[in-house]
Amino acid sequence: MSDQAVADFGLIGLAVMGQNLIMNVADHGFTVVAFNRTVAKVDRFLENEAKGKSIVGAHSVEEFCSKLKKPRRIMLLVMAGKPVDDFIESLLPHVEKGDIIIDGGNSHYPDSNRRTKYLAEKGIRFVGTGVSGGEEGARYGPSLMPGGNEEAWPFIKDIFQSVAAKSDGEACCDWVGDEGAGHYVKMVHNGIEYGDMQLITEAYDILKRGLGMTPAEIGDVFEKWNTGVLDSFLIEITRDILRHNDDDGTALLEKILDAAGQKGTGKWTAINALDLGMPVTLIGEAVFARCLSSLKQERIRASKVLKGPEPDFKGDRKEFIDNLEQALYASKIISYAQGFMLIQEAAKEYKWKLNKPSIALMWRGGCIIRSVFLKDITNAYRTNPDLENLLFDDFFNKAIHNAQAGWRDVVSKSALWGIPTPAFSTALGFYDGYRSRDLPANLLQAQRDYFGAHTFKIKPECASEKYPEGQDIHVNWTGRGGNVSASTYQV
């Protein structure tokens, strides 16, 4: 090993995430070598933020690699997409078999599947890791969700678990699974984040339009909620946002244009749910709610011509606010249950061994969806790692039953008042569908067979010689069609 090889860890990408993560790694006793495409940023970083820390710089990829102990542990924190592939290509001439390349950007999991295979063919161990928690997380403890080539894990576990956030003394980082599993789990995390945020905005809207409360009053409600079952980072920041006044003494929130942006991870989750045929309805609604919000000009025109009811609150306000807390809690349980249904299906479809208690633990601290609630999910999956659905766990089963009356009150009143609650409503719709032994899909099957000869199966208890159990049956509903059935299709 060259005597230049002083660094335990190398990081490429000196933007906000990279700089903060380097300092976090250095604070935990590791020597880090830093590199960036725009090389001038390396010296600037060394002379400022990195000064006095066990951080060295490199001015070329070759120098960067020569400063790393073997096996080299190299992390990329650059813009997702082509820059990751470009850096991998530029590293290849300077790394050797057994070295580890980690992509910590927000990469789409199929890219990580591809990179794991591509680099394994060259003897390089690839890791695609989800990193959550933004700037502060990177600096003081992110949630880390690594997946890829498992042979890399023993070599990076120590560093990753040292720098990750801790929850009750446990690191919010564990091995997720093969190929792009780490980035997949990060994608679902982001989807759930979309859902949590949408639910919070609906609660705010109901308090504002339904009960006529001011931002400061709503802030007090969120403060109280943050001491109970909803205790979480997103409830906490919402409280602070509601209390943030502009120079004129009014809430800045009410001046912000109501047109939401998105970067795509919620959409990826919803698309994947459709691909896998999983009813992840709440994340889907959360994405569509952002799309609807962005049609601002069209909504202004519609508001002038499309009539609806006005909120007309009667009754006990405190009781209704408690019901709203329950509606938020119950909907959140549904959203996480749906998220884990998706993860479970992905594990089957992509043949990944995904560890559900570890995933819940990784989300408990450091990341945007961190909450007390995730401790209960971790407990549920630790008690029974093969739990079919979160709603079958005793704790969540009781919780959803207790919350139900309040949840139904909120959804029905909002509908009567004309206040949109796509996430609350879809959660309740899912709950009622999931707990229905019989759904009207029999009629759907009959319709499909009527117009397209798509066939149906008979209920086992109604099977007969004419309609044998398990067979694809086509009926000539009109007496005019033929007896040929179409090939069936599945989601």
Residues with active-site annotation: 186, 193
Both tokens assigned to 47 = 């002379």
Least Cβ distance, residue 12 to ligand NBP (angstroms): 7
Q: Is 79 in the site for ligand NBP (CB under 6 A)?
A: yes
Q: Single out the residue of 13, 141, 195, 357 in contact with ligand NBP (rule: CB under 6 A).
A: 13
**Which of 106, 269 has the CB closer to ligand NBP?**
106
Piece in contact with ligand NBP (CB under 6 A), picked from 74-82, 153-161, 176-184, 392-400: 74-82
Residue nearest to ligand NBP (CB): 105
Q: Single out the residue of 50, 77, 144, 235 in contact with ligand NBP (rule: CB under 6 A).
A: 77
Q: Is 206 in the site for ligand NBP (CB under 6 A)?
A: no
Q: Is 213 in the site for ligand NBP (CB under 6 A)?
A: no
Q: Is 347 in the site for ligand NBP (CB under 6 A)?
A: no
Cα dihedral across residues 206, 212, 216, 222: positive or negative: negative
Least Cβ distance, residue 263 to ligand NBP (angstroms): 8
Least Cβ distance, residue 103 to ligand NBP (angstroms): 8
Piece in contact with ligand NBP (CB under 6 A), picked from 32-40, 153-161, 189-197, 412-420: 32-40
Piece in contact with ligand NBP (CB under 6 A), picked from 9-17, 144-152, 247-255, 332-340: 9-17
Q: Single out the residue of 57, 71, 105, 210 in contact with ligand NBP (rule: CB under 6 A).
A: 105
Both tokens assigned to 261 = 């942006």
Rounded Cα distance between 38 and 216, Å, is 45
Q: Is 80 in the site for ligand NBP (CB under 6 A)?
A: yes
**Which of 65, 411 has the CB closer to ligand NBP?**
65
**Which of 41, 208 has the CB closer to ligand NBP?**
41
Q: Single out the residue of 14, 172, 282, 361 in contact with ligand NBP (rule: CB under 6 A).
A: 14
Q: Single out the residue of 5, 46, 98, 134 in contact with ligand NBP (rule: CB under 6 A).
A: 134
Rounded Cα distance between 51 and 44, Å, is 10
Cα dihedral across residues 387, 391, 393, 395: positive or negative: positive
Q: Single out the residue of 2, 4, 15, 212 in contact with ligand NBP (rule: CB under 6 A).
A: 15
Q: Is 89 in the site for ligand NBP (CB under 6 A)?
A: no
Q: Single out the residue of 131, 192, 251, 400 in contact with ligand NBP (rule: CB under 6 A).
A: 131
Nearest to 88 by CA among 107, 75, 97: 75
Residues that bind ligand NBP (CB under 6 A): 13-18, 36-38, 41, 77-80, 83, 86-87, 105-106, 131-132, 134-135
